[in-house]
Structure 1
Amino acid sequence: MDSNPLSQNGIVGRSEGADKSLLGRIAIATIRHPKTHEHQQHNSAMDLRENGFRFLQDRFAPIKTRAQFGPQQQGAMAVKNPSIYLKMKVLGALDIAPGKTRDQRVRSVAEMTFLDEEGNQYRFTWRTIQTWYYRYKNYGITGMDASPRSDKGKPRKTTPEEVLEAINQALPHFRQKESDKSRKHTWPPNKTAIYRFCIEKGLLQANQIARNTFSRMVEKYELLKPDPSESNKQRLAFSMQYANQLWQADTMFGPHIGGKQTKLIAFIDDASRVLCHGEFFLEENTDTMIRALRSAFYKRGLPEQLLVDNGSIYCSQEITLICARVGCILRHTAVRDASAKGKIERFFRRVRDQFLIRNLDLSSLQSLNRQFTDWVEQDYNATIHSTLGMKPIDRFGVDLSRIRFLSPSQDTDELFYAEDTRTVKKDNTFSFQGDRYESPIDMRGREIIVRYERHRKGLPIVYDNGRRLGQARLLDAVANGLARRREE
C-alpha cells in the first residue's frame, strides 16, 4: 500500500508524473481531501484557494529560496530563458495563490520557488510574472516564447557605411612614407588609434559609437582587411569624351550643426570635372538623395550614366526607378572599391582642404549650403583645372549642344514621384492612402500605376504602361448621384 498521502488522494509524486500539471492535482486533492470535504459546505471559494496555497507552501517548504543560499550552497539559479513549461507552471500558481486582486496573487507567487524539468530551483520577481501573464493573455502560449530583438547585433546609432567612410578618410594620415626608413610602422594601424583620430577630427561622435563598439564593427565587417585582389588589380586612368556621358556621385561627412553631423551628397561630371550639384543634409536617406538628384538634373541636364557605390541610398528602388524613367544607366562600383570613383573622391579632399577650413557660419543648414554653393561656383568651377588646362565650367560649355536638359513643368516633376500599383474596381474607382479616387478614363477591372509625392498630400497621377492618363479625381458620390438624375 502506498504510504504517500498524495497518491491516496489522486496526486502522484514528481518522479511519477513530472509532466502533469501539479497545480491542477493540488486543486483536486483539496476537493477530495476528507477535511476539505467536511468543510466544503461552509467554506467559500476563497477558503479553497487558501487551502490549496497552504498545501503548495508545505509542498515547497523544504526548498530554499535564492536569498537563503549562502556562497557555498547556491541552489536557486539565475536563468535567462526559462522554458515554456516553467513559465506555465508559475502562471498556474496564480489560480490558487491567496489575495483578493491579481496583483496580490502575483506577489504571493513571487515568494515561491519552482523546479524546472531538470530539478533546478528558480524564483522570479513579480514584474517578470506579470509580464508573462499579459503575454499569455494577449498572445496565448505561442507568445510565451520570447523572440529576439529585430535589431539584435546591429548598430543602432552608427551604420557600418558611416564607419567605413570615416576610416577611409583617416587612413591616409596613417600611411607610411616610403622615404621614412628610420621609424617602424605597422599596417594596418591600431584600431584604437584610428578611433581616436576619427573622434578628434569630428569624423565620428563619441556619444554615437564607443571604442569597443568601433572595434567590434571593424572586426565583424573586416573594414581594415586589405582586399587581396587590390594589389594585383590593374588600374588605368580614364576620362569620358563628352560632358554628361558619366557622372560620379558619393556622400561625404561634413561639419556638425545643432549637434548633428551633416552629409554632403555631390555629383561630378567625369569629362569636364564640373560639380553638377552638391548639397548638405542632416539625414542620409532616399528622400535627401532624390532631392539632390532632382536639383542636379535640373541644373546640368541628364547624364547617360551615373556611377555610384553600394550604399543603401544608391541601391534603393526609387533611385533605380528615376534613372530608368529619364534613360540614365545606373552603375555600381565593386564593393569597397573607392578608387573606382577617383574624381569625386579627389573633389571631397579638396572640399576638406579648402572649404571646410574656412571660418564658416554654421548657424543653420541653409547658411552652410549657401556658402558651399558660392565656393563651388566662384572658386572650384571657375578655376583652371591642371589636367584639363581650362575651367571646368568652360569645358562643360563645349558640349552644351549635346546635353539633354529637363524642362520645368508638372509632367517633369512627376519623374521624381513615388509610384504604386492599384486595381480599378467595377465602378471605375480605386483606393489610395485611405481615400477613394476616380480614374480619369474608363479603366474598370484593369491594373494602373499611381504616382504621388512622398511628403505632400495631393491628387495622384494615373499611368498605364508608361502612358500618362491624367490626374485622378477624389470620389464625390453625392455629385455622381445628382449627375445621374439629370441624365435620366
Structure 2
Amino acid sequence: MTEKEKEQVAIFRFGVIFPLLESQNLRWGDKKRLLQQLSEREWEIPFSERTHISRATLLNWVQRYRLNGERIEALFPSDRSDCGRQRSISDETLAALLQLRKELPRHTIKKLVEEAYRRKIITGVDHIKLPTVYRLFKLHHRQTLQKQEDMRKFEVELSNDLWQADCLHGPKVSYQNKLVKSYLFAIIDDKSRLIVGSGFYLAETAQSFIDCLSDALRCRGVPRVLYVDNGSSFRNHRLRIGCAALQISLRYATAYRPAGKGKIERFNRTVRMQFLPDISEGLSLEELNKRWQKYLGDRYHISRHSSTGQSPLQRYLDDSHLLRGAPEKLPDYFRNQEERTVSNDRTVRLENRQYQVPIGFAGRKVILRYETPDRVEMFYDKISYGFLAEVPLRANSHVGRHEPQTARIPTVSGSLFNGGE
C-alpha cells in the first residue's frame, strides 16, 4: 500500500472515530450506545471488501490516536501479514455468482455452487466453502435493501458545530479583456446561518474552495464538521488531509440528495433572489467581491432570520466564547503531496522543476509537500528535512566530483501534517 493510500485509510478511520473522540465527557452508557451504533453501521471502507467495523477495532483506533499525541499518523494501517496470498473469493467470482443467483433464484446455495462449477465460474483450484458464499449473499442483500430516509429538520447545538459549503454559478466578469464566468463559494454556519466564508472566483476548483475555507478558518475559527457535496472541488486530497490534520470531520452529502445540505441550498436561493438580479455582467472580480461583502455586512448578516428569530451575526456571536481558533501557518495544512525517488545526483523533479536534496538520500523515496512549486518541503519517514531549493545548475557545474559516500541521515523533528517547522 502506497503512502497516499495509507493516508486515505487514516483519514477514513479518523472520520469514523470522530464522534468517539469528542464524547469524552459522556457517561459510559452513552458511549456504549454510540459504539453500538458505529459498529452496526455499514461503511465503505477504502481498499477493503468489509462493510462493518467491530467495537474492538474502534476502541483500538481511539487508543492509538490518543496515545500518539492525537496525530493522524497513528491511524496509518500497518502492512498486511497476508500480503500476496489469494483471497477465497475474488471480486470477479463474486460478481458472477451474484449474477447466477439472479438467473436461478430458486436454487439452494449448494445447487448454485454446483452450477457455478459446471459453468466454470468456480474452477477446481478454488477452495470455496458454502458458508462463505452464504455470508456474502446475505451481506449483499442487506446492502441493497431500500432504507427509509429520515427527512426531519435538524439544527446543531452550537455555532461552528457544523458548516455547510457549496458552489453557485455567478455572473460573467471582465478578466483580461474578456467576459469570464465567475463562481461563488460560500460556507454557512448551521446554527446561526452566518456566512463564515465566501467569495467569487474565476474557477470552480479545489484551490478556490481551499482559499475560501482558509479565510473562514482564520476569521471564524475551526468547525467540528464540514459538510460538502460530491463535486470535484470538494473531492480533493488536499482538503481531506487538511481537515483531518485540523480535526475537522469532513462529510459528503448523498449523491443527488441536496436536502441533506438544505441550509446552504436555501441561502443559494436567497442569493439568486436578492443579490444577483442587481448585478450586471462586465464588472471586475474585485468589484464583484466588494459588492458581495457589502451585501453580507449591510443586509444579510444583520437581518432577522425567519427560522431563528435572530440576525445571523448576533446568533453566532452568542457562542463566540466557545469557538476554537485556527492554528498558525494554516496554509501548511492544505498542501499537495507527492512521493519521489531521489536520483543519484541528489535531485528530485516536481512539476517540471528540479530540486536539490540534502546529502544521504540518494535512492530513497521521499515525500514532497507543497502549496506551490516555490515552497516545497521534504519528508522522510514522516520527519521534515526542510524546504528544498531549485537546483543551481550553474553552481553545480563548478563542484568537484568525488566517489559516493554513505552519509548518515540527520534527525530533524517535525510532523508530516504540521509543516515540520
Give the aligned length. Answer: 253
1:272-291 map, 5 Å: 272-291=192-211
- Cα offset, 1:240, TM superposition: 1.2
- Give the corresponding residue for 1:371: 291
Unaligned runs of 5+ in 2: 1-145, 403-421
Corresponding letter in the other structure for 2:240: T
1:219-368 map, 5 Å: 233-258=149-174, 259-358=179-278, 362-368=282-288
Instruction: Give the whole-Å Cα distance in 2 for the aligned partners of 1:459 and 1:309.
Output: 30
- Tell me if 1:463 matches 2:379: yes
Summarize the Cα distance change of 1:316–1:462 in structure 2 as closer, same or farther, 3 Å threshold. same
- Cα offset, 1:281, TM superposition: 2.3
Over aligned residues, Cα RMSD in angstroms? 3.0
Which string of whole-angstrom CA distances, capped at 9 and with x for unpartnered residues, describes residues 101-136 of structure 1? xxxxxxxxxxxxxxxxxxxxxxxxxxxxxxxxxxxx
Q: Is the 8 A contact 2:164 2:264 kept in 1?
A: yes
Summarize the Cα distance change of 1:256–1:459 in structure 2 as closer, same or farther, 3 Å threshold. closer
Summarize the Cα distance change of 1:321–1:278 in structure 2 as closer, same or farther, 3 Å threshold. same
Q: Is the 8 A contact 1:250 1:344 kept in 2?
A: yes
- Cα offset, 1:310, TM superposition: 1.5
**Percent identity for Structure 1 against Structure 2:** 31
Q: Is the 8 A contact 1:254 1:262 kept in 2?
A: yes
Which string of whole-angstrom CA distances, capped at 9 and with x for unpartnered residues, describes residues 32-64 of structure 1? xxxxxxxxxxxxxxxxxxxxxxxxxxxxxxxxx
TM-score by length of 1: 0.47
Instruction: Give the whole-Å Cα distance in 2 for the aligned partners of 1:398 and 1:447.
Output: 50
- Cα offset, 1:254, TM superposition: 2.1
Instruction: Give the whole-Å Cα distance in 2 for the aligned partners of 1:468 and 1:403.
Output: 31
Higher relative contact order (CA 8 A, sep 6+): 2
- Cα offset, 1:387, TM superposition: 2.9
Instruction: Give the whole-Å Cα distance in 1 for the aligned partners of 2:181 and 2:389.
Output: 43
Which string of whole-angstrom CA distances, capped at 9 and with x for unpartnered residues, describes residues 321-358 of structure 1? 33223222211111111111110011111111211232
Give SS of 2:165's match. strand
Which string of whole-angstrom CA distances, capped at 9 and with x for unpartnered residues, describes residues 258-300 of structure 1? 5443221111011221101121223212232222222222222
Summarize the Cα distance change of 1:234–1:341 in structure 2 as closer, same or farther, 3 Å threshold. same
Indicate which of 337, 351, 357 corresponds to 1:433. Answer: 351
- Tell me if 1:424 matches 2:338: no
Summarize the Cα distance change of 1:425–1:484 in structure 2 as closer, same or farther, 3 Å threshold. closer
Which string of whole-angstrom CA distances, capped at 9 and with x for unpartnered residues, describes residues 354-383 of structure 1? 112325574212211110111112221222
Corresponding letter in the other structure for 1:432: L
Give SS of 2:277's match. coil
Which string of whole-angstrom CA distances, capped at 9 and with x for unpartnered residues, describes residues 221-268 of structure 1? xxxxxxxx79x6431111111221211011122223354432211110
Give SS of 2:226's match. strand
Summarize the Cα distance change of 1:468–1:240 in structure 2 as closer, same or farther, 3 Å threshold. farther
Instruction: Give the whole-Å Cα distance in 2 for the aligned partners of 1:355 and 1:435.
Output: 44
Summarize the Cα distance change of 1:444–1:396 in structure 2 as closer, same or farther, 3 Å threshold. farther
- Give the corresponding residue for 2:390: 474
Indicate which of 449, 456, 475 corresponds to 2:367. Answer: 449
Give SS of 1:250's match. strand
1:384-403 map, 5 Å: 384-403=304-323
Q: Is the 8 A contact 1:362 1:368 kept in 2?
A: no
Summarize the Cα distance change of 1:475–1:254 in structure 2 as closer, same or farther, 3 Å threshold. closer
Instruction: Give the whole-Å Cα distance in 1 for the aligned partners of 2:351 and 2:386.
Output: 18
Corresponding letter in the other structure for 1:251: C
Q: Is the 8 A contact 1:360 1:368 kept in 2?
A: no
Give SS of 1:357's match. helix
- Cα offset, 1:435, TM superposition: 4.1
Corresponding letter in the other structure for 2:234: Y
Q: Is the 8 A contact 1:462 1:471 kept in 2?
A: yes
Instruction: Give the whole-Å Cα distance in 1 for the aligned partners of 2:281 and 2:260.
Output: 33
Q: Is the 8 A contact 1:257 1:363 kept in 2?
A: yes
The structure whose Rg is larger is 1
Q: Is the 8 A contact 2:243 2:249 kept in 1?
A: yes
Give SS of 2:182's match. strand
- Cα offset, 1:420, TM superposition: 0.9
1:45-124 map, 5 Å: none
Q: Is the 8 A contact 2:189 2:196 kept in 1?
A: yes
Give SS of 2:315's match. helix
Give SS of 2:242's match. helix
Corresponding letter in the other structure for 1:348: N
1:203-218 map, 5 Å: none
TM-score by length of 2: 0.53
